Amino acid sequence: MGIEDMRALYAYNGWANQRVRNSIQDLDPEIFKRDLEASFGSLQGTVAHLVSAQWNWLRRWKGQPASRPLPADAFASPRQANRRWVEVDRALADFVDGLDAGSLQRSIALTTPQGHSYSSLLWQAMQHVVNHSSYHRGQIAAMLRQVGAIPQGTDLMLYYRELSG
């Protein structure tokens, strides 16, 4: 994967995240926190997981240790969640903007939550984050439908169609 491909992939990721933020922004906080029996319980839990994962992967790419998931109070309402999510998206975009082709081939040391160590090429970890985010954006879309909301589409092909005008 080349640097321009990675920049395009992260432009898509930011676009898709924004569409999810648009979809949740006006939700009642009680609906946002309602347990919908999904992987992370609620919309709040799923958004918190998605954003925390993006934040922790970024920390790893910068050579910092992963931290605990971002605190729940950062996600107490859709508006608070969106503010934090925008910060993480900006940090990801800044990181991607600072990359060159050679940096994508850099090996990074990783440790799983279970304590197992391994290494990965940066480009592989970066692809994983977008894939992981897409998975959870799909869960969020399903949960939004459960509460009677209409999620905005986040398909990659929709993104390409919008780009081409």
The string of pLDDT tens digits covering residues 109-140 is: 988 778 889 999 999 999 999 999 999 999 99
- Tell me the C-alpha distance between 16 and 12, whole Å: 6
Neighbours of 3 (CB within 10 A): 15
Q: By mean pLDDT, which of 29-43, 44-58, 102-116, 139-153 is the weakest?
A: 102-116
pLDDT at 39: 87
C-alpha dihedral (123, 128, 131, 137), degrees to nearest 10: -120
Look at the chain and report how many structural domains it folds into: 1
CATH code: domain of residue 70 = 1.20.120.450
- The domain in which residue 37 lies consists of 3-164
pLDDT in tens, 49-106: 999 999 999 999 999 888 888 877 789 999 999 999 999 999 999 999 999 989 999 9
pLDDT value for 75: 93
